[in-house]
Amino acid sequence: MKHTARLEGTHLVARPARPSAARAHRRAVRWTVIGVVTLFVAVVIGLFAGAVRISPVGIIGWMLGGGSLTEQQKAIVAELRLPRVVLAGLVGAALSVSGCAYQAAFRNPLADPYLLGSAAGAGLGATMVIVLGVADAPLALPAAAFLGALGGVGLAYAMASTRAAGRTSTSLLLGGVAVASFLTALQTYVQQRNTDDLRAVYAFILGRLGTSGWHEVWLALPWVALACAVLLASRRLLEVLSLGDLEAASLGAHVTRDRAIVVIAASLATAAAVAVAGLIGFVGLIVPHAIRMATGASNRLVVGLSIVFGAAFLILCDVLARTVVAPGELPIGVITALIGAPFFALVLRRSGGAR
C-alpha cells in the first residue's frame, strides 16, 4: 500500500495515501448502487412474469404507491407474485451471505451453506414428516426442516469440539462431512422403506417456491434478518479469519469463539432458507465467487453485496423456473444447478490458465 508523510511537530508520520482509500470508497458505492438497481429490476421482472400479462410500467407505479392496475391485477401481484418474489429474495440473500461467511471462516473457496450437515439434517427432518403423513399440518414441514438443519450443524460442532479433535476449522469440516454422510444414509433408508412418498421428498430436495405465500415469508424473515445483521456486523472479523488461525490470533482475535459466531449465524440463515424453500444448491457458491471476480474486493464489501446480488439472482432463477416450460414449472434447484455447473467450469478454466 502506498503511503504519504506529514510533519507533526518534529516527527515525520507515515499514513495511508488518501487516493487509495477514496478509490475503495468509490468502488463500494458504485457496486452498491449497481446491486440495488439489479435487485429492483429483478423484482419488477419477478412481478411481471406470469400467465396474466401486467404492464411493467403499471407494476412500477404500483410499487411506488400509484399506477393504473385493476383490482384483479393488484390482487394477483400482491397475493400471488409478491410473496413468491420476496421469499426468493430472502432465500437467495440467506444462502449467498452464508456461503460468503463459510468461505471466509474456513478459508475454503468451495465452502457452501450446506457444508456442516444442514442440508442432510433438513432433508432427514422433511422426509420424516412426509412419511409420517403430517406434512400437511400447518408449518410442520418447514419446522421439521429447520430443526433438522440446526441439528445437523449442532452434531458437527459437537463432534469437532472434543478435546481429541482440537476444535480447529479442519476438525469442524471433517465433522460436517461425517454428520452429512450419516444423516444422508438415514434419509436414504427411510426413503427406501417408504417409496410411495419419494415424489414429495424429491420435490423438497430439488427446491420449491411454487406453493409459497406470506406465511413462509413471515416464518423466514426474522431468522434471515437476524443472521444477516450479525454477519454484516462481523465483516471485519471475517477479514481477520480469512488470514488463517495463527495470523488471526496474533491480531487479537479469539478464533474459536469468533468462528463459532460466524458459523452459527450462517447456519441459522441456511436453516431458515431450507425450511421454506427446500434444498437449492450453488447459490452460496456462485454469487460470492462472481462478486469477488467482478470487484476484487475484500469480505468487508463482499458480505453486503452477497445479500443484494444473492436476492436478485434467485429471483431471476425463479422467473426462469416458472417460465421456461410454462404452463409447467421446473424445480428451482434444477435452474441453479444448470447455471452453477458451467460457472464453475469457467472458474476452473480461468484458474488453470492463470498458473
Domains of the chain in start order, with CATH, are 16-347 (1.10.3470.10)
What are the grid coordinates assigned to 141, written together? 414441514
Hey, is 112 helix, strand or coil?
coil
Q: Determine how many CB atoms are found less than 10 A away from the CB of residue 112.
A: 21
The stretch 152-168 carries a mean pLDDT of: 73
What is the rounded distance in angstroms from the CA atom of residue 339 to the CA atom of residue 334?
9
pTM: 0.86
Q: Would the pLDDT of 354 be above 70?
A: no
pLDDT band for position 172 (cuts 50, 70, 90) = confident
**How far is 32 from 35, CA to CA, in rounded Å?**
5
Provide the Cα torsion 60, 64, 67, 73; round to 10°. Answer: 70
Alpha helices in the chain (DSSP H): 18-48, 56-63, 71-75, 82-106, 118-131, 140-160, 169-193, 198-205, 214-233, 235-241, 245-250, 255-277, 283-295, 299-323, 332-354
- 7: confidence class by pLDDT, cuts 50, 70, 90: very low
* Measured distance CA(175)–CA(29) in Å, rounded: 40
Helix or strand or coil: residue 207? Answer: coil
In three-state secondary structure terms, 8 is strand
- 3-class SS of residue 108: coil
Q: Would strands 11-16 and 3-8 be described as parallel, antiparallel, or unpaired?
A: antiparallel
Check residue 167 and give its pLDDT: 57
Of 156, 205, 220, residue with least CA distance to 331: 205
pLDDT at 18: 45
Cell output for 184: 444422508
pLDDT in tens, 99-144: 999 988 888 877 888 888 888 899 899 899 988 888 777 778 888 9
- Check: CB of residue 91 under 8 Å from CB of residue 314: yes
